[in-house]
Amino acid sequence: MLRPKLPDIPTLPTTPVVPQQTQAPVPGTSRSLTPYAGAVAAVVVVGIVLTALLAAVAVTAVSVAIAAVVLRSLVNDVHKR
């Protein structure tokens, strides 16, 4: 009774479409940024290492301070008795 109508299959064009290739002009006097890549990487690495060392010193200082408070508390308890 009612049948769905299927869409027609589109046919592909017979002529191939070739995109135009354009080349950007090469500037003759521009300097490359690659000489600075090593310096930038060195600065980043030194920054990361110094940050890690600072964090390690901070964690060590906090743990030494906690240990000192605990030991002081234990020594004071022994002297009070």
pLDDT in tens, the chain (81 residues): 678 787 787 776 677 666 677 776 666 656 666 778 888 999 999 999 999 999 999 999 999 999 999 999 999 887 776
Q: Residue 40 — φ and ψ, nearest 5°?
A: -65, -45
State the Cα–Cα distance between residues 63 and 72, nearest whole angstrom: 14
State the Cα–Cα distance between residues 74 and 63, nearest whole angstrom: 17
CA within 13 Å, CB half, 77: 6
Q: What is the residue type of 77?
A: D
- State the pTM of this model: 0.49
